Structure 1
Amino acid sequence: MKYLIRNQIFGLIVLALIVVSCQTEEQPQVSQSEYSQEEVQLVSSHEIDQLILKSLKESGDFIWADQSDELILSALLQSDSVLTIGYQSADKELTNARIGLESVGQPQMQQAASKIIGLVRRIQKPQQNANSRMVDESLVHADLPFLEVKVSTLEVLQQLRALGEVRYFEPRGYEFDYSLAMDNPYARITSDSGCENEPQSIPSSDYSIIAPGAKSSWNYDQMGISQAWNQSSGAGITVGVIDTGLSPDQAMLNGSFNSGASSGRSVQRFGTYQTGLWWWKKYDGPHDQCGHGTAMAGVVAAPRNTVGNAVGVAYNSNLISVRGTSDVIFNSGNEKDGVAEALVLLGKRSDVKIISMSIGDLFSSAKVADAVRYAHNRGKLIFAAAGTSTSFTNWVGVIFPATMPETVAVTGVKEGNGYQRCDTCHSGAQVEFTVIMERASTNSKPLTTALYSNTPSTVGGSSVATATASGIAALVWAKYPNWTRDQVLNKMRNTADLYPSKNAQYGYGNLNAAAAVN
């Protein structure tokens, strides 16, 4: 069961977390009678969730590959029974640095995938009946080195564990009950990054009017963004935003994307999120049905307009929006698929320099991790939200995929001297940068574009911090268009507030856009 996260403010977990999606994942396809014959003591979903919770509190993550075969089988049979299997050729170990660079179409890789599928079918074929007719169905990803197949027996997992061609395996569709991680188990999961993005009445003290009539958020001066605009507006740089899509009703991100002082650029939208059953799904389109994606896209690239709407950090950059998830936390099998596909889509595009991900999950997904590495190994600079939550903030650290070394983790802090994280922001050793995004006296959040209207909304948490950092990176890359990803990132580090020191919770501290474009 998945919880729709709704809250008055806006920001992330992310994760905090999020919204109960209306969609329903595929139900288990294997009957009790089929697996009881194996005399396997199945682990209940409650026990699995308690183990996940314990691991999160002790280590900050939960890795399916480290769990027993009995636990993984139990998770499979209590979800959609689909096992995701990362593979490699028998004679060559596939390192993280080669994900996506080593073609899955090579004969050795094809042989590895065929061997794994053949093993599963050989073991499970004798047990097929009307209730397990999908056991022979399998999917081999076209670009990433993983395949998916229905698994219903312990023997399959045991033999896969011993196979050199197998890098990892994990249940595709099992969903952790996030209410167990809350201080109040009866409260709804809430987040500064929920799915409401309505126009708001914003005090004039929280913005300034800039030519030719746009509203510039109160924190832009403090982050050096307003000053950086004298040298860069992000022109010529394409930023990909993986989130909940773009609203067709927000003119600034549609027909008026080139308006005011913004011109000569493009906005594109795609949808990689699918609904339906594992073997029979359909794409759900690029339109934002949540609100979060529209807000993040607005922070990155909303035009410097004439009508009083909020202006984005890189107001002359190109924008590609990919709807990879239905809400801010990608905890369902379909959402993990959508996010992975979005990363592959943007990874393949030579024009995309920066990927902004103000989304995440409490623990790792090997499939999504492969996709992150796919994009990273193609030179993309990937920013990921460290996490935003209410009930979890006291003990949850940085969330996935911001925990990965291939991403740049960002969180939000309050204005003023010293470093104090925003009321709902996560922090930790993986954080690279911080962004000022909460007023000390009023807790006001930065401006962004609402789902509709020329009246802005506000957005908080590490979500907006991540989108802001992505916009600043676009300003730097536009100023130095021949630079590599590492050069851009190093310039951002070298000009951040705490450099060369690195704080255990806040990394190199607040970014300084003005210094970074010099």
Structure 2
Amino acid sequence: MLRGHLHFRQRGVRRAAAVLGGTLLMMSGVAPEAGADDFRSHQWYLDSLRMPEIWKVSKGRGVTVAVLDSGISEVPELRGRVLPGKEVSNAPTGSMRDKDNHGTNMAALIAGTGAGGGIQGIAPEAKILPVKAVTHPPEDSVDGVVSRGIRYAVSRGAKIINISLGAEGEEFYYRKTQKAVNEALAKGSLVFASVGNGGKKGNPVVYPAALPGVVGVSAVDRSLKVASYSGNGEQVALAAPGDDIPWRCPELTGRCNSGGTSQATAIASGSAALIWAKHPNWTNHQVLRVMMQTAGTPDGIVPSRYIGYGNVRPRLPLLEGKGNPGPPDVNPLLAREGATEPNPSVGASPSPSAEAKEKASKSAKPAEAPSGDKAEAKSGSGGDGEGSGLWIGVGAGAATLAAVVGGVLFVRRRGRAL
């Protein structure tokens, strides 16, 4: 069985990959941009989502979002927003410092205040609970670390658990994680996870996003079309902006351009925090139901394998009062509420089977994501089994220019205009 590190993609710089004990470890970074101007002016999605208007109604106050990631370092925009956290590996380092800078950026995208010209988060009054989830072979398996992280987050009152990470493998490798997800849902939390950036590279099924009950999130670009690199399949529940997202460069210096389902997941989590803060008496199922109902509906079959029930649109429930919270004790995702066509792979079960997910993954066409309407959101009103060991990064997109310099692969992408 395989063990491995949890690694995190940022975007643009890929550190040298290595095969260790049969496990491929990959990391990538970001594409630096010229200038040291503020982040806010480059966060196009805030205006697209109409955040300035939404913040007059809700800023996420009273909601704790657990960021199960690489730790969180101190940056100006997160001062006063981060709660005491914990590393959940079997061999903790004793420090929550974020060496990869991935978790720091995720936290800022969710709850950054923009202080000091830093990142403006979606829910700037939400609290962040850092849960450092880095494996240390041979002590740790991915399944063990993630399941412990989810349970810790729930025990500390996190309503939302953001997992902008993923690992390949088979569903039975993640039995502990599935049990932890079930417990989190039963105790009233929501779990969001990235579906991965392998849409053009074999489209692997990524966990925990593909586990029943987890809200798998894909990435869309400025035009609200699915990003070409975004993973696709039955595991996709919602989509959110994830392309051309500015964040802090490695070593927390300067502004870099990023893209991936990591970022999309953080934005989806932040959107949930806004809705929950406005409606604190709603259950996790009601918050999710309203998010699904008000998402930008995909053309064709719902849920779409590319954007699920659609692109998140928090303005509809928060500014226009749209969405019916419905029954408090029925999970709308497992019940496939809003689906427009029966899914033959689901059968009598309320959630896809491992066999169905594997079949869906193999039938995907990873060479190119669709560019037409079917990929676009309408703009409108295991036991003790161990994971594959590969924590694949879920924060980087496809590259248009790459060069290897001193053993480091620098990857850049051209930006898109609105």
List alignment gaps of at least 5 residues for structure 1: 12-16, 25-174, 179-188, 210-215, 259-264, 276-281, 439-444
**1:201 is matched with which residue: 15, 34, 55?**
34
* Distance in 2 (alpha carbons) for counterparts of 1:331 and 1:406: 29
- Alpha-carbon contact 1:273-1:335 (below 8 Å) kept: no
Specify whether residues 286 and 337 from structure 1 end up closer, same or farther in structure 2 by C-alpha distance, changes over 3 A only.
Answer: farther
Letter in 2 for 1:516: P
**In the alignment, what sits opposite 1:354?**
160
1:105-144 map, 5 Å: none
User: Using CA pairs below 8 Å that are at least 6 residues apart, which structure has the higher relative contact order?
Assistant: 2
Partner residue of 1:416 out of 223, 233, 236: 223
**Contact kept in structure 1, 2:39 and 2:247, CA below 8 Å:** no
Q: The residue matched to 1:379 in structure 2 has which SS?
A: coil
Structure-2 change in CA distance of 1:6 and 1:506 (3 Å):
closer
- Alpha-carbon offset, residue 9 of structure 1: 1.3
8 A Cα contact 1:10 1:459, kept in partner: yes
Deviation at 1:226, TM superposition (A): 3.5
For residues 33 and 135 of structure 2, the distance between their equivalents in structure 1, rounded to whole angstroms, comes to 23
Map Cα deviations across residues 393-419 of structure 1 (whole Å, 9 max, x no partner).
3422441111112110101022226x3
* Higher share of residues assigned helix: 1
Matched, 1:403 2:210: yes
1:477 paired residue number: 276
Structure 1 residues 5 and 486: CA distance shift in structure 2, 3 A: closer
Counterpart position of 1:467: 266
Q: Is the 8 A contact 1:198 1:451 kept in 2?
A: no
Matched length: 312
Work out the CA distance in 2 between the residues paired with 1:331 and 1:465. 32
Task: Give the structure-1-normalised TM-score.
Answer: 0.54
Residue identity over aligned pairs, in percent, reads 27
Residue 289 of structure 2 aligns to a residue in which SS? Answer: helix
Equivalent in 371, 378, 384 of residue 193 of structure 2: 384
Q: Residues 32-43 of structure 1 correspond to what in structure 2 (within 5 A)?
A: none
Aligned to 1:296: 106
Measure, in 2, the Cα distance between the counterparts of 1:502 and 1:387: 18
In angstroms, what is the RMSD of aligned CA positions?
3.4
Shift in CA distance, 335/401, structure 1 to aligned 2, threshold 3 Å: closer
Task: Say if 2:328 is the partner of 1:505.
Answer: no
Match of residue 434, structure 1, among 225, 236, 239: 239
Q: Is the contact between residue 241 and residue 263 of structure 2 (CA under 8 Å) also seen in structure 1?
A: no
The structure 2 residue matched to 1:344, chosen from 148, 151, 163, is 151
CA displacement, residues 40-89 of structure 1 (integer Å, 9 cap, x when unaligned):
xxxxxxxxxxxxxxxxxxxxxxxxxxxxxxxxxxxxxxxxxxxxxxxxxx
Question: Does residue 166 of structure 2 align to residue 333 of structure 1?
Answer: no
SS of the aligned residue for 2:45 comes to coil
Q: Distance in 2 between matches of 1:252 and 1:203?
A: 16
Which amino acid in structure 2 is aligned with residue 246 of structure 1? I
Q: Does structure 1 conserve the Cα–Cα contact (< 8 Å) formed by 2:195 and 2:206?
A: yes
Structure 1 position 252 matched with structure 2 position 254: no
Native 8 Å contact 1:355 1:383 kept in 2: yes
Q: Which amino acid aligns with 2:51?
A: I
Query: What does residue 517 of structure 1 align with?
Result: 318
Query: Residue 247 of structure 1: SS of its match in structure 2?
Result: coil
Larger radius of gyration: 1
**Shift in alpha-carbon separation, 1:203–1:509, aligned structure 2, 3 A:** farther
CA distance in 2, matches of 1:232, 1:337: 36
Residue pair 1:237, 1:318 contacting (<8 A) in 2 also: yes
